[in-house]
Amino acid sequence: MINSLKILTLLKTSEIKKKFPGVPDYAIPKTKYSDKTANDLTKAIVDFINLSRTGQAERINSSGRRWKIRGRERWIPTAGQKGTADISATKLIEIDGRRIGIKVAIEVKMGKDRQSEAQRQYQHQIEQAGGVYLIATSFEQFIEAWNKI
Residue 10 lies in a domain: no
Give the sign of the dihedral formed by CA 82, CA 85, CA 87, CA 88. negative
pTM of model > 0.75: yes
Residue 21 lies in a domain: no
pLDDT classification of 80: cutoffs 50, 70, 90: confident
Residue 97 lies in a domain: yes
pLDDT classification of 100: cutoffs 50, 70, 90: very high
Residue 111 lies in a domain: yes
* 3-state class (DSSP) for residue 138: coil
Q: What are phi and psi of 26, to 5 degrees?
A: -65, -20
- Residue span of the structural domain in which 40 resides: 33-148
pLDDT (0 to 100) of residue 71: 82
Asked if residue 72 has pLDDT above 80, the reply is yes
Residue 25 lies in a domain: no
Q: What tens digit of pLDDT does each residue of 9-25 get?
A: 999 999 999 999 999 99
Residue by residue, DSSP assigns 57-93 as EEE-----EEEEETTEEEEEPPSS-TT--SEEEEEEE
Euclidean distance between CA atoms 75 and 64, whole angstroms: 7
Total domains in the chain come to: 1
> What CATH number is attached to the domain comprising 57?
3.40.1350.10
Asked if residue 48 has pLDDT above 70, the reply is yes
Q: What are phi and psi of 63, to 5 degrees?
A: -85, 160
Asked if residue 37 has pLDDT above 90, the reply is yes
* 3-state class (DSSP) for residue 44: helix
